[in-house]
Amino acid sequence: MGTGDKIENQADVLKGKAKEAAGRATDDPGLEVEGQGDQAEGHVKQAGEKIKDAVKDIFGK
């Protein structure tokens, strides 16, 4: 996984955590759910990158 991808994916997770916390603090369930979605998106991207890395390791490409 490229360093840029790692940073971008982690930024998605952190952005989601901030949105979720802001939603909780302001009693805005929509913002809270949006933050949870951003976090999930970041985690899915991280998992996809790990799978690509594993395939590269297996096939040597």
Cβ neighbours of residue 31 under 8 Å, at least 6 residues apart?
Answer: 19, 20, 22, 23
Nearest to 1, CA basis, from 57, 43, 53: 53
The predicted-structure confidence for 22-34, as pLDDT tens digits, reads as follows: 999 999 999 999 9
The predicted-structure confidence for 13-61, as pLDDT tens digits, reads as follows: 999 999 999 999 999 999 999 999 999 999 999 999 999 889 988 988 6
Average pLDDT over residues 3-13: 89
- Global pTM? 0.81
Cβ neighbours of residue 39 under 8 Å, at least 6 residues apart?
Answer: 12, 13, 16, 17, 20
